[in-house]
Amino acid sequence: MNSHNDSFSHEKKMSSPGKRGHIFIISAPSGSGKTTLCRALLQHMPDLFYSISYTTRSQRNGEKNGVDYYFVSVEEFEQGIKQGKWAEFATVHGNYYGTAAETIDQCIRSGHDILLDIDVQGTEKFLKHYPESVTIFILPPSIDTLRQRLEKRGTDTPAAIERRLRDAEKELARKDLYRHIITNDHLQQAIDDLIAVVTRYR
């Protein structure tokens, strides 16, 4: 995502001493427009730190290591599990995804607000360690709309799309886990709603 968010800048370090940062978690079924919404939020709030997840899935066209994700091997990820490296991790569509606890702790201790893009499984685990997190779920208008978006994206096989849709239904069933729900029917309205929610806490 935004490359300028993957390390602390001089300006970001100039925060109030003793103030703990907020953690914002955004989750959504695949194809709901979560990445687009996160990018818009980070553009609007350039001082918001973005937590880059680690994953064992293959790098897609246009993605950059250390910007969109940290792409690692299964062996490396499982070593992190043994070492207690992850604040949360989950297996999604056959691949590991995880968040480094050290990144989160360093960020909120220094008073910076941080944005996480993680799935429902990951959120459940993460909230056990950071129950004060502000959770936001992005809702697609319908499963049919989600199917159309996934097909239009053109990055998945028909079988993979069906699997993503089955997973989406399971995730939608857990939306009550989240404090805020935003429906991404009209993109600009969803962006405005997301900015309004985050601004309320900051």
Q: What 3-state DSSP class applies to 89? A: strand
pLDDT for res 154? 80
Q: Tokens for 141, please give them.
A: 């208008």
The dihedral of CA 149, 150, 153, 158: what is its sign?
negative
**Phi/psi-derived region of residue 94, left when phi > 0, alpha when psi is between -120 and 50, beta in every other case:** left
Q: Does 195 reside within a domain?
A: yes
pTM tops 0.85: no
Q: Is residue 194 part of a domain?
A: yes
d(CA 179, CA 135): 5
**Residues 127, 131, 132, 137, CA torsion sign:** positive
The mean pLDDT value for 97-109 works out to 94
Q: What average pLDDT does this structure show over 148-177? A: 89
Q: What is the CATH number of the domain that holds 69?
A: 3.40.50.300
The yes-or-no verdict on residue 45 having pLDDT over 90 is: yes
What is the SS3 assignment for 24? strand
Residue type, 117: D
Asked if residue 12 has pLDDT above 70, the reply is no
Q: What's residue 180's pLDDT?
A: 98
The whole domain housing 57 covers 3-7+19-201
Domain count, the chain: 1
- The mean pLDDT value for 76-97 works out to 93
Sequence-ordered list of residues with C-beta below 8 angstroms from that of 97, at least 6 positions apart, any chain: 53, 54, 55, 57, 89, 90, 91, 118, 119, 122
